[in-house]
Amino acid sequence: MPIVIMTRRLPVKTLGADVNSLNGLGTVEGYIPVRNEAAPEALRTRFETMQTLQQKETELQAMLKAASDAARQAEWDFHASVLSMKEAVRAQFGPDSNAAQSIGYKKKSEYKRPRRTAKAAAM
C-alpha cells in the first residue's frame, strides 16, 4: 500500500475519479454503509464543502495575484519617482554638490582621474 502524505494536494485525476464514483453511487440500489462517512448524505456534504472551499481558494488566489500586481506596479512607480528626483537634484545642485552626495551619488570630484598607460616599446 502506498504511503499517504496528506500535506500534498490530490491529483486532479484522482479527484475526478472520486467525483465519478460519487455520481455512480446514485445508480447503486440497496447500498447500506457501515461507516457514517461513507453514507451518501455525508459524501454529498463533503463534496459540496470541497467545492465551496476550492471556489474560495480560487477567489483568494485571484485576489492575491491582483494585490501582487498592484504592489509591483507601486514599486515601479516609486522607483521611477526616485530616479526623477535624483535627476532633478543633480540638475539643480550639480554633480559635485553635497545634495547629490546626500541622495546616494558619489561626488564628481571623488572619482579618480584616468591615468595614461605607457605604450610598449616597439622592437
Q: Would you say residue 72 has pLDDT above 70?
A: yes
Q: Would you say residue 50 has pLDDT above 90?
A: yes
Percent of the chain with pLDDT over 90: 72
Q: What is the pLDDT of residue 122?
A: 60
C-alpha–C-alpha distance, residues 66 and 56, integer Å:
15
C-alpha–C-alpha distance, residues 81 and 68, integer Å:
20
41 or 118, higher pLDDT:
41
75 or 26, higher pLDDT:
75
Judged on CB neighbours under 10 Å (0-12, 13-18, 19+), 79 is exposed
76 or 114, higher pLDDT:
76
Whole-prediction pTM: 0.65
Confidence of residue 112 (pLDDT cuts 50, 70, 90): confident
Q: Would you say residue 1 has pLDDT above 90?
A: no
Map grid coordinates 448524505 to a residue.
41
- For the chain, which residues make up each domain, given as ranges? 35-108
Q: Quick check: 40 and 31 in contact, CB under 8 A?
A: yes
Mean pLDDT across the chain: 91
